[in-house]
Amino acid sequence: MKVEIVESFEAGCSPNSNDHLLVREIAHRVNNEFASIIGRASLIAARSASDEVKHAMATVTGILHHCADVHRALEMPANCKIIDATHYIRTLCQSILRARLDDRDIELVLVEHPVEMRSERCWRLGMIVSELIMNSLRHAFDGSGGTIQIELSVSGPHVQCCVMDNGSNRDPGTPGQGLKIVKALARELDGEIVHRFGPDGALSILMFPVTSQAPQIEQEPWVNDEEWGSRRFAACP
């Protein structure tokens, strides 16, 4: 899924024009690179007399198509309107599943509740969810199977998104670049994100307002809670 592209943002919703054009230009170049690489892989397969090479290149081409789908799902929207956030996150998760998880014994589960919000806020939410999923894939499972669960819900004026995995215990240490980006994106949503780690997995809870009023969150943004270690996939607190 790609958020619908139109010529300009509605009045009052446009970000800095130079930043907007730069992001659009980068996305355009990445799309062109994907198309170029897929074309070259297809040409190599067509020119080869080996069935093994043809099969291998077809597999690579398929993976590239799925990765391009993820990239398109995460493109900055060019308009500002209310969209179905649950549908957007579902489509993003399906793209990540095909691109990253088809050959791994890891299940990706989305617990759905009806949520609507403006497209530019949903785009930032999608980038956060994508990074948290990739963080679990990089650090949680050590080649073994498991489950990553995403739950998106709304309570009054606030949206809550929980991303949890049942992977191996990890010492959070110093947050990496990915989690720093996640924190910055949460701030852009006027929200907060907390992380919990235990022997049975990790949980990240993002809370932000549907509008621009910041929620009140009493927890520290970085928590290593040993007592929480028994939590797996219970409902988000």
The string of pLDDT tens digits covering residues 23-50 is 677 777 877 887 888 888 898 899 999 9
Spatial CA neighbour of 212 closest among 140, 138, 124, 139: 124
In angstroms, rounded to a whole number, what is the distance separating the alpha carbons of residues 41 and 61? 6
Q: What is the pLDDT of residue 18?
A: 67
DSSP output for the chain: --PPP-SSPPTTT---HHHHHHHHHHHHHHHHHHHHHHHHHHHHHHH---HHHHHHHHHHHHHHHHHHHHHHHTSPPSS--EEEHHHHHHHHHHHHIIIIITTSSEEEEEE----EEEHHHHHHHHHHHHHHHHHHHHHT-TTS-EEEEEEEEEETTEEEEEEEE--------S--HHHHHHHHHHHHTT-EEEEEEETTEEEEEEEEESSSPPPP--S-SB---GGGGG--SSPP-
Spatial CA neighbour of 225 closest among 201, 193, 207, 206: 201
For the cut 50, the answer to whether the pLDDT of residue 230 exceeds it is: no
Residues with Cβ within 8 Å of residue 146, at least 6 apart in sequence: 105, 106, 107, 140, 165, 166, 167
| Range in 23-32, 148-157, 197-206, 225-234 the model is least confident about | 225-234
CATH of domain 105-230: 3.30.565.10
Q: What is the pLDDT of residue 235?
A: 47
- Domain residue ranges in the chain: 17-73, 105-230
Please write the tens of the pLDDT for every residue from 69-81. Answer: 888 888 888 778 8
Share the mean pLDDT of the chain. 79
How much is the average pLDDT of 97-104? 85
For residue 93, give the amino acid letter. C
Is the separation of the CB atoms in 231 and 200 below 8 Å? Answer: yes
CA distances (Å), 221 to each of 96, 139, 196, in order?
26, 20, 9
pLDDT tier at 17, thresholds 50, 70, 90: low
The top-scoring range by mean pLDDT among 36-40, 105-109, 209-213, 225-229 is 105-109
Name beta bridge partners: 149.
109, 164
